[in-house]
């Protein structure tokens, strides 16, 4: 089927109380693995490309891969721009045939973030494309800790890791959590479709231990009534039942990813966990086959591993078997990709 839009799959998910995975692709094998996983689980899926991935593979290549994968799939597949940091990037993706956009203006003062988001929403909505935007800041672990500090933390016993992390990065993360009144104003003034509201997660953490401020998430969802997007999902505590084993002491108002899905999280972005899985399996295959000439013998196992990991996430988000979309609003119906090309 043609690429679906994120609105097609996320409004249904919100209404029915589950979430849809938005998985970052870095190459053909990851894109195939993600869509194969969705196919096997009969789940809607969002494949998303960061600006870095677009630079690496090329915009046309990414769009072509996504189109072929979607056309051959029996489940809804969305192609989303992840963390588009300017107007031009969003317009390029719109014109190339992406079916979902993101403007990340978290570094801008609120007024400017609102103005630019509104401008992108305006052009995107004119061709039926939904837009996600960020409020508050989901920080990145590499900007908070050095590689050496992170390596020290990883070397600790699991229950100790959280205690040290909380001390080192907790206060800074708290400072950047989104505020409900600002979130409401942002949504009212921009018309944005989905909100990447910072509620305590951190990009790139991949330890499954970091709690979310689910109290703040609840307030933001209640104030805005639009699907909330989870960024930095690889490091988040998945289930509060795991807290004790992970050494996590939940403070009042904190909770897990599973709690958050009940309270408004609807699009869950996963990048680091899949990349780590890809690299782990590829390196394991390389270690088993020193001197291997055929790259497929290394990349094939990595693709399989990413597929299995993606299936785990799909089941965690409870989107398996949920293949219908809201309305007949596929990108093709909107004319996605029909805007004149060749002027970039």
Chain residues binding Zn ion by CB under 5 A are 231
Element (H, E) at 8: helix 6-16
Q: Which of 12, 80, 83, 218 binds ligand G3H (CB under 6 A)?
A: 83
Q: Which does 270 bind (CB under 5 to 8 A by kind): ligand G3H, Zn ion, none?
A: ligand G3H
Whole-number Å distance between alpha carbons of 33 and 39 = 10
> How many other CB atoms sit within 10 Å of the CB of residue 122?
12
* Smallest distance, ligand G3H to C-beta of residue 209, A: 12
Q: Are 224 and 182 in contact (CB under 8 A)?
A: no
Taking the alpha carbons at both ends of the chain, their separation in whole angstroms is: 28
Whole-number Å distance between alpha carbons of 170 and 288 = 40
Return the ∠ at Cα 90 (arms to 89 and 93), rounded to 5°.
85
Q: Does residue number 232 form part of the binding site for ligand G3H (CB under 6 A)?
A: yes
* Smallest distance, ligand G3H to C-beta of residue 218, A: 20
231/267 with CB nearer Zn ion? 231
Whether 82 is catalytic is yes
Q: Which of 94, 271, 282, 306 binds ligand G3H (CB under 6 A)?
A: 271
214/323 with CB nearer ligand G3H? 214
Q: Which of 145, 184, 186, 182 lies closest to 167 in space, CA to CA?
A: 145
Q: Does residue number 131 form part of the binding site for ligand G3H (CB under 6 A)?
A: no
* Smallest distance, Zn ion to C-beta of residue 288, A: 33
Q: Which does 233 bind (CB under 5 to 8 A by kind): ligand G3H, Zn ion, none?
A: ligand G3H
Select the span of 60-68, 230-238, 241-249, 297-305 touching ligand G3H (CB under 6 A): 230-238
42/51 with CB nearer Zn ion? 51
50/320 with CB nearer Zn ion? 50
* Smallest distance, ligand G3H to C-beta of residue 159, A: 22
256/330 with CB nearer ligand G3H? 256
Query: Which residues, including other chains, have CB under 8 Å from residue 128's CB and lie 6 or more apart?
Result: 5, 329, 331, 333, 334, 335, 336
Token pair for residue 223? 């104030």
C-alpha of 94 from chain center: 18
Q: Which does 325 bind (CB under 5 to 8 A by kind): ligand G3H, Zn ion, none?
A: none
Long-range contacts for 170-177 (Cβ within 8 Å, ≥24 apart)? 172/139, 172/144, 173/139, 173/144, 173/200, 173/202, 174/200, 176/136, 176/137, 176/138, 176/139, 177/136, 177/213, 177/216
Q: Does residue number 266 form part of the binding site for ligand G3H (CB under 6 A)?
A: no
22/69 with CB nearer Zn ion? 22
- Taking phi over 0 as left and psi of -120 to 50 as alpha, with beta for the rest, 58 belongs to left
Name the active-site residue from 8, 82, 104, 259: 82
User: Where does this chain bind ligand G3H (CB under 6 A)?
Assistant: 24, 82-83, 203-205, 231-235, 269-273
Which residues are marked as active site? Answer: 82
């Amino acid at each position: 089927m043609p690429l679906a839009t994120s609105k097609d799959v996320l409004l249904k998910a919100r209404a029915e109380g589950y979430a849809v995975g938005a998985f970052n692709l870095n190459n053909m094998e990851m894109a195939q693995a993600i869509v194969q996983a969705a196919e096997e689980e009969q789940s809607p899926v969002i494949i998303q490309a960061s600006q870095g991935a677009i630079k690496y593979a090329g915009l046309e290549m990414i769009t072509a891969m996504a189109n072929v994968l979607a056309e051959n799939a029996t489940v809804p597949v969305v192609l989303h721009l992840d963390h588009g940091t300017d107007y031009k990037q969003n317009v390029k993706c719109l014109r190339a045939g992406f079916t979902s956009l993101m403007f990340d203006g978290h570094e801008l003062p609120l007024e400017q973030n609102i103005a630019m988001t509104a401008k992108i929403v305006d052009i995107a909505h004119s061709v039926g494309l939904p837009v996600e935007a960020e409020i508050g800041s989901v920080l990145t672990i590499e900007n908070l800790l050095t590689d050496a500090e992170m390596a020290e933390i990883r070397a600790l016993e699991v229950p100790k890791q959280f205690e040290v992390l909380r001390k080192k990065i907790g206060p800074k993360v708290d400072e950047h959590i989104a505020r409900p009144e600002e979130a409401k104003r942002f949504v009212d003034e921009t018309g944005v479709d989905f909100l990447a509201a910072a509620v305590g997660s951190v990009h790139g953490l991949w330890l499954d231990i970091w709690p979310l401020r689910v109290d703040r998430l609840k307030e933001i969802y209640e104030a805005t009534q639009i699907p909330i997007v989870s960024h930095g999902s690889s490091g988040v505590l998945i289930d509060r039942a795991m807290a004790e084993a992970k050494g996590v002491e939940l403070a009042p108002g904190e909770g897990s990813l599973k709690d958050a899905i009940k309270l408004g999280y609807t699009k869950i972005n996963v990048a680091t966990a899949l990349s780590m899985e890809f690299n782990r399996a590829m390196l394991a295959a390389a270690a088993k086959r020193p001197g291997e000439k055929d790259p497929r013998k290394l990349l094939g196992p990595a693709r399989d591993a990413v597929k299995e990991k993606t299936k785990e996430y799909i089941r965690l988000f409870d989107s398996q078997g949920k293949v219908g979309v809201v309305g007949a609003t596929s990108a093709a119906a909107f004319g996605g990709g029909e805007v004149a090309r060749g002027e970039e």
